[in-house]
Amino acid sequence: MRTQRTFPSAFIAIAAIMGAIALCPGAYATTLSVVGSSAKVCQLTGETDWLSGLPTNAQTMSRYGLMGIDLGFPVESDTGALYMLFGDAVPPRHPPASFPTVPPDDGLGVTTRTAAPDGKDCLGLSFVGSARRGWLAHPVVTPAIQQGGFNVPTGGVYVGDRFFAFFWTNHCLIPDAFGPDAATPLVLPPGSAHCFEAPANNSLGSSVLAYSSDANPLAFTQVGSNARRPVAMPNGFVYVTAAAPAPRRRGVDYRRGYEPDIPVFGVARYRMSIPYLAMAPQASFGDVTSWRYYGGTGPSGPIWLTYLQWQSGHVGAQWAPPAGAELYANSPNPLSASGDERCVGEHSVTWNQPLGVWLLVYTCGGAQVEARTAPDPWGPWSPPTMLLSVAQQPSFICTLLWGPPATPCPGRVSQQIPALTFGYLYAPFVLNRFTQDVTPHPAGVREASIYWLLSTWDPYQVDVMHATLALGP
């Protein structure tokens, strides 16, 4: 579940600003553009498509007792299966009177579909370990961590025959309000009755890295759990994802036996950050001390820091990131909840083969999805391009998400959570196996067809979206 830090009136204000400035051409100097507009392909989760009233392909309520869920970070396996790391099932099926952030309530989806998603079969989704008309089986981490409400898997990657995943934990179910803090991003807000702001219960949370195998992809073991002194995750890598490495490319000198490093991206303050980057060797992916950490760009190119160098910066008792560690420069953005581009929480980074660039996708505020491109994981990253905007496409209100109280959706009520009276967007994750080269011939610009997941907060479901991206002068 994703609690929103702003009230419905803030959603209305953001939408009003978006409509007022209309994102005029030239507002962003970038070569990336959307051909036409983004569109919903199908509702991935839930029993019934809340708009059409037709059954979903997954039928998650009758098959798994699952009314709603979110996220679904995609991870390509080495067996042809596409796993999806979902979070916070509704109903959670917690034991009676249990502390709400203790029991596991996430899910692991899977599909072997290779044809592009469509409105009939969608993704052909099922859930690992979950029997028909049974309870939803949950990924479980050992040694145990908090895996209840608002403690979720955030990303993952297959390395060899191991399924590595990052789990966000120690996060309050109802966090206190906080804003961006680039200088000391791990500073906690003042505590409250609903969030103690203690190491095991705070508004930022922390991350652990764990792995499972094809034999039982639901059983995750924390890396280093057998060591006498387990190594902590890197400072600032709180909400973490990883990207499959780029394939071999022309013009790149590969040495014999070379395996490209895996890009790992992390943000320190959920939906209030610009990502950091580490490049992780495949042979030692589970050892964060072997990763190289991006510390900015110098005259000779990227500056790479060791784990100890990355951990060492402090301002008093607080850790301070290296100067230049943020992947791109901040810029004013009246459309985001924070007022600038320090707005990244859930995010997706993939190598887009048709465009020949890395593609970063994220939400900035609850009413738009932004995309950036770069030739390398460390950049330089382009300014943002609007991938989806509720202001530009007001038809999304009452079709993709619930409208705010000022624009109620006729004849429709909240399906899952009666307290909610408005909807917003988050967690856009590209399903890279379905990316296609659709460059027109003769080619003027490069074009790619992409499919991506998008979570909506009321209705609390995950949709499959489609867009065509163009990259050119």
- What percent of the chain has a predicted confidence (pLDDT) above 90? 67
Residue 254 in any domain: the answer is no
pLDDT single digits (tens) 69-78: 999 999 999 8
Q: Work out the mean pLDDT of the chain and round it to a whole number.
A: 87
Residue 348 in any domain: the answer is yes
**What would the mean pLDDT of 41-65 be, rounded to a whole number?**
92
Work out how many domains the chain is built from and give that number.
Answer: 1
Residue 442 pLDDT class (50, 70, 90 cuts): confident
Which whole-number Å values give the CA distances from 418 to 7, 230, 396, 421, 458, in the listed order? 16, 43, 21, 8, 9
Is the distance from CB of 370 to CB of 18 less than 8 angstroms? no
Residue 3 in any domain: the answer is no
Is the distance from CB of 164 to CB of 157 less than 8 angstroms? yes
Residue 250 in any domain: the answer is no
Residue 132 belongs to domain with CATH number: 2.120.10
- The span from the CA of 28 to the CA of 24, in Å, is 9
Which position has the higher pLDDT, 403 or 52?
Answer: 52
Among residues 30, 38, 24, which one has the least CA distance to residue 384?
A: 30
In this predicted structure, what is the pLDDT of residue 392? 83
Residue 2 in any domain: the answer is no
Residue 251 in any domain: the answer is no
- What percent of the chain has a predicted confidence (pLDDT) above 70? 84
In this predicted structure, what is the pLDDT of residue 122? 97
Is the pLDDT score of 349 beyond 70? yes
Q: Domain span at residue 92?
A: 8-245+259-471
In this predicted structure, what is the pLDDT of residue 420? 52
In this predicted structure, what is the pLDDT of residue 11? 39
Residue 252 in any domain: the answer is no
pLDDT single digits (tens) 138-151: 999 999 999 999 99
In this predicted structure, what is the pLDDT of residue 338? 80
The lowest-confidence range among 2-6, 76-80, 161-165, 334-338 is 2-6
**What would the mean pLDDT of 264-293 be, rounded to a whole number?**
97
pLDDT single digits (tens) 339-348: 899 999 999 9
Residue 169 pLDDT class (50, 70, 90 cuts): very high
3-state SS record for the chain = CCCCCCCHHHHHHHHHHHHHHCCCCCCCCCCEEEEEEEEEEEECCCCECCCCCCECCCCHHHHHCCCEEEEEEEEECCCCCEEEEEEEEECCCCCCCCCCCCCCCCEEEEECCCCCCECCCECCCEECCCCCCCCCCCCEEECCCCCCCCCCEEEEEEECCEEEEEEEECECCCCCCCCCCCCCCCCCCCCCCCCCCECCEECCCEEEEEEEECCEEEEEEECCCCCCCCCCCCCCCCEEEECCCCCCCCCCCCCCCCCCCEEEEEECCCCCECCEEEEECHHHCCCHHHCEEEEEEECCEEEEECHHHHHHCEECCEECCCCCCCCCCCCECCCCCCCECCCECCEEEEEECCCCEEEEEEECCCCEEEEEEECCCCCCCCCCEEEEECCCCHHHECCCECCCCCCCCCCCCCCCCCCCCCCEEEEEEECHHHCEECCCCCCCCEEEEEEEEEEEECCCEEEEEEEEEEECC
Residue 252 pLDDT class (50, 70, 90 cuts): low
Residue 265 in any domain: the answer is yes
Residue 317 pLDDT class (50, 70, 90 cuts): confident
